Amino acid sequence: MHPSHFGVLNHMVRLGDAKTPAQLASAFQVTRATMSHTLALLEKRGLIRLAANERDARSKLVYLTDEGRAFRNAAIGAVEAMVGDVFDDAMLDHLAKALPHLRAIRKRLDENR
């Protein structure tokens, strides 16, 4: 899976689904066509589903499927296991202490796109 495709799954886990393709394109700073292509590939794999937008018949809403959430969680778990093998306890402690600050930065950036 391409990192940008995984990024969409991760974004939806973090910030919730029911986003339009246009909202996702804006969040990832890509064209709508690029996001439409990404979403088509994710939908083909069963990781997301597109549904009609009841508020705006011109657009659709993107939802993460159970399979998409499981895929994302398994990938995160694999990375966490690898990180545990690479870093010692002291380094992991430093990373854990930095995490709230990094989350705050990420939230601020997300809010100010």
CATH code, domain carrying 73: 1.10.10.10
Q: How many domains does the chain have?
A: 1
Query: Stretch 34-55: mean pLDDT, rounded?
Result: 96
How many C-beta atoms lie closer than 10 Å to residue 24's C-beta? 21
pLDDT of 43 > 80? The answer is: yes
pLDDT of 113 > 80? The answer is: no
pLDDT of 52 > 90? The answer is: yes
- The 10s digit of each residue's pLDDT in 57-100 is 888 999 999 999 999 999 999 888 888 788 888 888 888 899 99
**Residue of 79 and 112 predicted with greater confidence:** 79
Q: How confident is the model at residue 110 (pLDDT cuts 50, 70, 90)?
A: confident
Does residue 104 belong to any structural domain of this protein? no
pLDDT of 107 > 90? The answer is: no
Give bridge partners of residue 49 from the DSSP assignment.
Answer: 63
- Burial class of residue 93 (count of CB atoms within 10 Å of its CB; 0-12, 13-18, 19+): exposed
Does residue 86 belong to any structural domain of this protein? no
Q: How confident is the model at residue 35 (pLDDT cuts 50, 70, 90)?
A: very high
Side-chain half-sphere exposure of 67, counting CA atoms within 13 A: 8
Side-chain half-sphere exposure of 11, counting CA atoms within 13 A: 21
Give the structural domain span for 76.
3-81
pLDDT of residue 33: 96
* C-alpha pair distances (Å), 113 with each of 26, 44, 46, 82, 102: 8, 29, 29, 32, 17
Q: Is the dihedral of CA 97, 103, 108, 113 positive or negative?
A: positive
| Paired tokens of 34 | 């690029």
Rounding to the nearest 10 degrees, give the CA dihedral for residues 87, 93, 99, 102.
Answer: -70
Does residue 107 belong to any structural domain of this protein? no
